[in-house]
């Protein structure tokens, strides 16, 4: 767990819905110190007590807001960015 990213998730923009904030917190809970997490959508959904489709929709919204990035071709790896510019592209290549 990264306490840095957990703190940033708790301080995320005020206009996030409770579900959006909870998903960020769950991602931060599983993130390493670089903000990388491999948390499965099903695990997010189960932990947040939401459907898989709601979890996917929430992740898509957070990606559009620049709060998370999917950085692998299969979309399974998530990087928490919290507004910071990307430093790595797909498969760890420079952005």
Domain made up of 3-92: CATH architecture? Orthogonal Bundle (1.10)
Domain boundaries, given as residue ranges, for the chain: 3-92
> How crowded is residue 83: how many other Cβ atoms within 10 Å of its Cβ?
10
Q: What is the pLDDT of residue 46?
A: 94
Any idea which of 9-23, 47-61, 62-76 has the lowest mean pLDDT? 62-76
Q: What is the pLDDT of residue 35?
A: 80
pLDDT tens sequence across 20-64 = 999 999 998 988 888 888 788 889 999 999 999 999 899 999 988
CA–CA gap between residue 30 and residue 94 (Å, rounded): 24
Closest CA to 11 of 3, 94, 46, 34: 3
What is the average per-residue pLDDT within 11-25? Answer: 92
Q: Which DSSP letter does residue 12 get?
A: S
CA–CA gap between residue 2 and residue 95 (Å, rounded): 23
Say whether pLDDT at 89 is over 60: no
CA–CA gap between residue 5 and residue 34 (Å, rounded): 9
């Amino acid at each position: 767990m990264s306490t840095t990213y957990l703190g940033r998730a708790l301080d995320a923009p005020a206009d996030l819905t409770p579900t959006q904030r909870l998903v960020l917190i769950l991602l931060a809970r599983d993130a390493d110190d670089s903000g990388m997490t491999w948390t499965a959508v099903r695990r997010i959904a189960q932990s947040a007590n939401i459907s898989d489709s709601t979890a996917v929709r929430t992740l898509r919204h957070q990606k559009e807001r620049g709060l998370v990035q999917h950085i692998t071709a299969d979309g399974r790896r998530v990087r928490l960015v919290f507004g910071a510019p990307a430093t790595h592209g797909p498969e760890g290549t420079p952005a």
